[in-house]
A and B are shown apart, each in its own frame.
Chain A
């Protein structure tokens, strides 16, 4: 069965970077894009960007342009989301999701990133 398993919770200081992983199983990794979506406490879902797992091309939300980098390791069937220059407003649960025709049928369990001094 399709599974996306994310890395564990992180606590970071302001100004630091965080890298969250998303390991896929149960399907051919390079057949579907992986998107990243975040959700601040008590807030809604926010689209961050995505990676074409086949060729590595990426697209980011303008809101995160310059601060976010999404990569993948096809040999490990894993996608990564790196967010830099963290501020308190980046405290959120970060989700990866498998995308097909702009739909997310499979999601990771979420990774809580807490930014605190």
Chain B
């Protein structure tokens, strides 16, 4: 399986919105509604932020939202805060009981 494609970096000022894309194929992102997003701060384990394309686990602020169109999923963070600065990874079911991650996106809050 090939890694899903994410932009290497995005940035935004506090209070602004940013969107991170995650592009796959019809065999993964486009074929299933099993896309999740993870936030990872340096030296820490990843944290689940979005699952099943657009659902938020309890405790995750509603500033985080997810969507999907065709083979591309997106994570939008509105009302950016300093603590949102982190690496973000998408993950998709890829069929045959396998999963695949995106390459990761570094979010910088200016």
Contact with B along A19-52 (1 / 0, CB 8 A): 0000000000000000101000000111100100
B93 within 8 A of A: yes
A interface residues, tally (CB under 8 Å) = 20
Is residue A109 within 8 Å, beta carbon to beta carbon, of the partner chain? yes
Chain A residues with CB under 8 A of B3: 44, 46
Q: Using a Cβ–Cβ cut-off of 8 Å, how many residues does chain B contribute to the interface with A?
A: 27
Give the chain A neighbours of B96 by CB distance below 8 A: 59
Question: Which 7 residue pairs spanning A and B have beta carbons closest together?
Answer: A44-B104, A107-B45, A102-B34, A103-B51, A59-B97, A45-B101, A102-B93
- Contacts A95-B45, A105-B57, A107-B45; A46 near B101 (Cβ below 8 A): yes
A interface with B by C-beta (< 8 Å): 35, 37, 44-47, 50, 59, 61-62, 95, 101-105, 107-110
Which listed residue, B51, B52, B89, B97, touches A45 by the CB 8 Å rule?
B89
Kindly list chain B residues whose C-beta atoms are within 8 Å of the C-beta of A44.
3, 87, 89, 101-104
Say yes or no: B36 contacts A47, CB within 8 Å.
Answer: no
